[in-house]
Amino acid sequence: MSVPDLAPLLEQSGLVDAYTPLPERYDEMRTVEGEVRPHWQYVLDALRTLGPSGIEARWREATRMVRDNGVTYNLNAEPRGMSRPWELDLLPLLIRSEEWADLERGLIQRADLLNQILLDLYGPRRLIRSGLLPAELFDASPEYLLPCHGVEVAGHRPLIQYAADLTRTPDGHWRIIGDRTQSPLGFGYALENRVVLSRVLPSMFRDSHVHRLAGFFRSIRRTLTRLAPRRAEHARVVVLTPGPENEAYFEHAYLANYLGFTLVQGGDLSVRDGALWLRTLGRLERIDAVLRRVDDGWCDPLELREDSFLGVPGLVQAVRAGNLVIANALGSGILEHPALPAFLPSLCRELLGEELQIPDIPTWWCGDPDSLTRVLDRLDQLVIKPLNKRHGERCLFPETLDAPARAALLQAIRERPHSYIAQERVKTSTAPALIGQHLEPRPSVLRTFLTAEEDGYAVMPGGLGRVTPTNDAALNSNQLGGLAKDVWVVASEPERQESLLVTTEMHTPAVTQESEVSSRVADNLFWIGRYAERAEGLVRLLRITIFKLSERSDYAASTGDSCCLRSLLEALTNQTQSFPGFIGTGAAERLRNPVPEMLSLISDPARLGGLPQTLQALGQAAYSVRDRLSADTWRIVSDIEAHLGNLTHEAPGQLSLALDELDPLITSLVAFSALTQENMTHNEGWHFLEIGRRLERAASTASLLRSMLVPIAGEADENMVIEAVLGVTDSLITYRRRYRAGTRIGALLDLVFQDEGNPRALAYQLVQLERLVSELPRGDMAVGRTAVEKHVLKGLTGIRLAEIDSMVQPDKAGARRAALAAMLAELDRQSAAISDAITAQYFRHEEQPHSLLRRAAARGAS
C-alpha cells in the first residue's frame, strides 16, 4: 500500500476537524454530536505530536515489516495471487475495557450455546425431536456429516476455537453478523498486527494500557495438550494445512511456529491401527491432536469427500477410536448454517435458561409459515439469501430488483420457502482509517476469537478489525478483505507485561524430542539448497561474463576471436540448460551479438533455466516450508523476491543496468546461505538443505570446468580463462597467494578441483556430502553402505585418485583435454546418481487411495 501524504492531516485546524461520520451509522471515534469519544483522545493527541514526518516514517516502517515478514493473504480471484501483501492500517480500533467486559460475557455465552447445539446435533438430537430445530433444514445440509454422528468428543468440547464477526447498529449495540466454527481464520493475522503496531508505535501502545494477547495463545496450547489422549507431557500436536496454495497459508505457518507445533499436509500423515501418525524419514511419529485449517468435508476422503486430496484417509476412524482430538471437531461447519441465527434466541432460553446477550441481525427462515408471512409483508426492507447458493450467486435485495425479477423471486420463495432466509438490512458501524490524505470513516467489522478452557472459554482481548477501502464497498464476513486493523482494548491502568513466547505447563518436561521432518519437508529443503546454489552460481557466471564483454568495445567483432568469452557464453548455456543458446542452432549469430540472449536469461520469466525461473522456484520451495525458516531468513527471501521483481517487471535493456541488480542479488543469496548455515539447527531438515547445496555446487563447478578448461586456448587466452574461472568460483585471492609461478591450468585444477579445504572446490563438495549422507537416517534394516553413500564415495575416490598432470594434457589433435572431459563427465554421472538415489530413498510420495472422480480443489479455510 502506498504511503499517504499526511501533511494535511496535522494542520493547525486539528486532526479530526474534517472527519464527518457517515449518516445513520454508529462511528467508533466520534459521536453524533461531533464530539471525540474520550478513549480516542490520547491516540489522536499522540498522532498530532508525531507530526506528518513522524507518521509517514512509522507507516513506512510498518509496511516494511509486513513485507519483510512475508505477510500475505490472497483473496479469491485476486490478480496478485499468493504474493498479495497484507494491508494494515496504522490507526488501531479502540474499545474501552469496561465495554469489552460486557462483550466478552456475551461471546462466552454464545460459544457455550453453539458448543451445546453441536453436541446435540451429533448426539441425542433432542433439539430436532422436540421441534426446536427443523430436521429437514439441517439434515439436508452438506455441512452435516453423518459419519461423525455419535462420535465421542474429548472433554465434551467439539467447538474448541470460535470466531464471531460483529458490527454495531446505529444505536451503538453490537450485533453478530457471522460465525466461524470450522477452522476460524485470523488468529495469526491479529497477532502479527499487534507485533507490527507495538513496534512502530511503542509509546502510544504502552501508554494506552492495551490488553495483551500472549495469555490467549497460551490457552490455545494448554487446551490442545490437555484434551490430547496422552495428555500434556507426551502429546504431539500438528497444524494441518491445505498447502501453500491456500490464501491464508502464512497464518498456518505463523501459528505453527508461534505455538511450537509441526505444520503438516495431508500427505505427511497416515492412519494405522486406529491412530494418526506423521511419516518422518526415520520412523512413524504418533500424533495426538490436530489444529486443522482444512474444512470439514475435505479432511477424510475415505468417509467424507471422496475427491479430496487434502485430508487423511481414516481420520474419522482415529477420532472415533478415541486416539485423536481435532480442533474443531469434524462436522462443526453445520454451526455456520445461514438459518441457525433464526433459532438461536429460543435455543438459548432452552439450553442455557438465559436470553441471548449479543443478538444476530434479525433473521427469518421462510420455511416457517409465520416467518414467511412476515418476510413477504416487508420484502423490500430485507435481504434474501438462498440457502443452497450456487457458485457466484449473491444475496438479493428485492428493493433494487425490476418488476420481472421481483416477481420471479416471490414465486421462488412461495414454491420453495424452506430454501430461503431473510435478514434485515444493516448499515455497519464505521471506524477511522488513514485513507490517502485524510482521516476518514469507513464501514468496519470486528472479528473476535475464543478458545476453550477447562471451565469455559477464553476471549482474545482484542481481535481483527477490518475496514473497507471505500465507503460504498462491502465486507464479506467469510474473507479477510479490506484494510486490516489491530484492535486495542484500552484499560485505565497499565497492563501486566507478558512475553509473546508461549510457555508450557510446570509439569511438562523441560526437554522434549524435536519432531523429525516428513518426506515432503525434506524434499523441499533439498531443493531450496539446490535452487539457492544454482541461482548464486548463475549470477556469478553472468557477472564475470558481463565484465569480460564490457572490456571489449565491439562485441560482434571480438566474441568469435576470444576463446575466453566464447567459453563463458557456452558455459551459460550449459549451466542453465537453455539450449540452443550459444551452442546449438543459431549459436553463431548469438555469439556475434550475445546481449539479447544474456538479457533473456537475466530477466525473462518464461525462459526455461533462466535466472527468474530459478529464483521463482527457490521462493516457492521456501514458501512451502516457511515454518522451518527464521524471521531473518525470511526477510532475505523477501529481498530476493524484490530483486526478482526488479529484474522482470521493468526488464533492463542494457547489461550494465542488469549488473546494478545482480550485485545486490548476489549479496542476498550469500546472506541466505549464511543464515541457513548459522541460524538453522543442524537437524535432519538442515542436512537435506545442505546436501542439495553441495550437490548443486559440485554440478555447476563441473559444468563450468568442462566449458572453460576442456577446450585448449592459446597462451594469451589461457590466462583470461583461468582468471574467469577463479572469478566465478570466488578463488582468485587464494590462487594469487598460493601459486607464484603465474597462471597455469594445473594450479587451477589443484585449487578448484582437488583441494579439499577450498569451499568452492569439487573435492570439498564431495567430502561434505560424504559426511552429510552418513548422518542421514538409514532405517532399521540397513546393512553396509547405502546407494547414496556408494555414489558419493565413488565420486570422491575418483577425484582423489585423479592425476592432474594427465588431465591437463591435450589429446592427439591438440584441441581439447580429453582426460579432463572424461573425468568431469563421470562426476556428472555420479552427481545425477546421488540425486536420484536420495530421491528414491527419502522422497517417495505415496499416493493416497482416492475415488476415480474428478479432482476438486479446495481452498480449505474459513
pTM: 0.88
Cα-flanking dihedrals φ and ψ of residue 665, to 5°?
A: -65, -40
Cell numbers describing residue 396: 438479493
Identify the H or E element spanning 226.
helix 214-227
Tell me the C-alpha distance between 641 and 653, whole Å.
20
Contact status, residue 300 vs residue 316, Cβ threshold 8 Å? yes
Half-sphere exposure of 206 (CA within 13 A, CB side): 6
Burial class (CB in 10 A: 0-12, 13-18, 19+), 264: buried
Quote the DSSP letter at residue 466: E
Q: What type of residue sits at position 490?
A: V
Strand blocks (E) in 144-261: 161-168, 174-180, 237-240
Classify the C-alpha dihedral 466-861-114-161 as positive or negative: negative
State the angle between helix axes of 187-200 and 214-227 in degrees (0 to 180), rounded to the nearest 10. Answer: 150
Q: Is 233 left (phi over 0), alpha (psi -120 to 50) or beta?
A: alpha
Contact status, residue 301 vs residue 853, Cβ threshold 8 Å? no
Contact status, residue 176 vs residue 164, Cβ threshold 8 Å? yes
Identify the H or E element spanning 435.
strand 430-435
Three-state secondary-structure class, residue 397: coil
Indicate the domain borders of the chain: 362-424, 520-680, 695-842
Tell me the C-alpha distance between 696 and 765, whole Å.
9
Tell me the C-alpha distance between 98 and 104, whole Å.
10
Could you write out the three-class secondary structure of 63-129?
HHHHHHCCCECCCCCCCCHHHCECCECCCCEEEEHHHHHHHHHHHHHHHHHHHHHHHHHCCCCHHHH
Distances (CA, A) of 285 to 290, 520, 807, 858: 13, 15, 51, 27
Query: pLDDT per residue over 195-239, tens digit each?
Result: 999 999 999 999 999 999 999 999 999 999 999 987 656 789 999
Please provide the size of the chain in residues.
862
Cell numbers describing residue 856: 476438486
Burial class (CB in 10 A: 0-12, 13-18, 19+), 184: buried
Cell numbers describing residue 555: 562485441
Taking the alpha carbons at both ends of the chain, their separation in whole angstroms is 25
Three-state secondary-structure class, residue 730: coil
Contact status, residue 105 vs residue 348, Cβ threshold 8 Å? no
β-pair partners for 240: 264, 292
Q: Is 150 left (phi over 0), alpha (psi -120 to 50) or beta?
A: left
The listed CATH number (3.30.1490.270, 3.40.50.2300, 3.90.600.10, 3.40.50.720) that belongs to domain 362-424: 3.30.1490.270
Tell me the C-alpha distance between 30 and 5, whole Å.
23
Distances (CA, A) of 783 to 671, 692, 747, 780: 39, 25, 41, 9
Strands of 275-279's sheet, edge to edge? 269-272, 275-279, 284-287
Identify the H or E element spanning 253.
helix 249-259
Contact status, residue 841 vs residue 773, Cβ threshold 8 Å? no
Tell me the C-alpha distance between 723 and 717, whole Å.
10
Three-state secondary-structure class, residue 424: strand
Contact status, residue 429 vs residue 167, Cβ threshold 8 Å? yes
**What's the angle, vertex CA 766, arms to CA 765 and CA 770, rounded to 5?**
120
Contact status, residue 288 vs residue 245, Cβ threshold 8 Å? no
Distance of CA 195 to the CA centre of its chain: 17
Tell me the C-alpha distance between 52 and 131, whole Å.
62
In the block, cell 480442533 appears at 327
Tell me the C-alpha distance between 215 and 162, whole Å.
17
Tell me the C-alpha distance between 592 and 713, whole Å.
19
Distances (CA, A) of 509 to 83, 513, 670: 40, 10, 38
Cell numbers describing residue 613: 525461473
Cα-flanking dihedrals φ and ψ of residue 752, to 5°?
A: -105, 0
Q: What's the pLDDT score for residue 562?
A: 76
Contact status, residue 94 vs residue 59, Cβ threshold 8 Å? no
Contact status, residue 120 vs residue 225, Cβ threshold 8 Å? no
Report residues of the chain scoring pLDDT below 70: 1-16, 75-84, 231-233, 390-393, 436-437, 472-481, 493-515, 552-561, 741-743, 779-782, 844-862
Q: Is 543 left (phi over 0), alpha (psi -120 to 50) or beta?
A: alpha
Tell me the C-alpha distance between 434 and 451, whole Å.
32
